[in-house]
C-alpha cells in the first residue's frame, strides 16, 4: 500500500487519512484522529498538508463553530481511488498462489487479533 501511495505522490499515512475520510464522512478533526489512533497535533499537521495539496477541505462544524470537519475534494477522492486500485492489484498479485480457503482463514485470524487487542494501536 505504501508503494502504491508513493507512486501517486503520497505517503501511506496520507492514503489512510484519505480513505478514512471517504468511509466516515462528517467526523471532526479530533474524532478522525481518535478513530485512527492519532494525537490531535499529528492529525492537524497531516490535514494541513493534505489541504495545502488540494486533496481535502475543512468546513466549520455546524454543531460547534470552533471545530472543523475535513472532507475530500474531488481531486483527493480521485487520488485515493487510484491508490486503492493499485493496492488491490498488488494484493491480488501477492496472494495469487495461496488457496482461497487459506486466505479466508488468515483474514479471520487477523481480524480476531485486531478486534480483541486491548490497544490495537494507531493505524498510521
User: What tens digit of pLDDT does each residue of 4-41 get?
Assistant: 899 999 999 999 999 999 999 899 999 999 999 999 99
User: Over the stretch 98-107, which tens digit does the pLDDT of each residue have?
Assistant: 999 999 999 9
User: What is the reported pLDDT for 2?
Assistant: 85
User: Over the stretch 48-90, which tens digit does the pLDDT of each residue have?
Assistant: 999 999 999 999 999 999 999 999 999 999 999 999 999 999 9
- The answer to whether 71 and 28 have CB atoms below 8 angstroms apart is no
Identify the DSSP state of 69: E
User: What is the reported pLDDT for 1?
Assistant: 80
**Widest distance between CA atoms in the chain:** 53
User: What is the reported pLDDT for 120?
Assistant: 63
SS3 state at 68: strand
- Please state which of the four CATH numbers 3.30.70.20, 1.10.10.10, 1.20.120.10, 2.60.120.1440 is assigned to the domain occupying 2-97: 1.10.10.10
Give the span between the Cα atoms of 27 and 31, in whole angstroms: 6
Closest by Cα among 34, 72, 67 to 53: 72
Q: How many residues does the chain have?
A: 124
Amino acid at each position: 500500500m505504501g508503494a502504491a501511495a508513493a507512486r501517486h505522490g503520497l505517503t501511506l499515512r496520507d492514503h489512510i487519512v484519505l480513505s478514512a475520510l471517504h468511509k466516515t464522512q462528517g467526523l471532526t478533526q479530533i474524532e478522525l484522529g481518535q478513530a485512527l489512533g492519532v494525537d490531535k497535533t499529528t492529525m492537524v499537521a497531516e490535514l494541513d498538508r493534505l489541504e495545502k495539496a488540494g486533496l481535502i477541505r475543512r468546513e466549520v462544524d455546524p454543531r460547534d463553530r470552533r471545530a472543523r470537519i475535513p472532507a475530500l475534494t474531488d481531486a483527493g477522492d480521485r487520488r485515493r481511488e487510484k491508490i486503492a486500485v493499485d493496492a488491490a492489484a498488488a494484493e491480488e498479485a501477492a496472494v495469487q498462489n495461496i488457496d482461497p480457503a487459506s486466505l479466508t482463514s488468515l483474514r479471520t485470524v487477523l481480524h480476531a487479533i485486531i478486534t480483541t487487542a486491548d490497544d490495537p494501536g494507531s493505524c498510521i
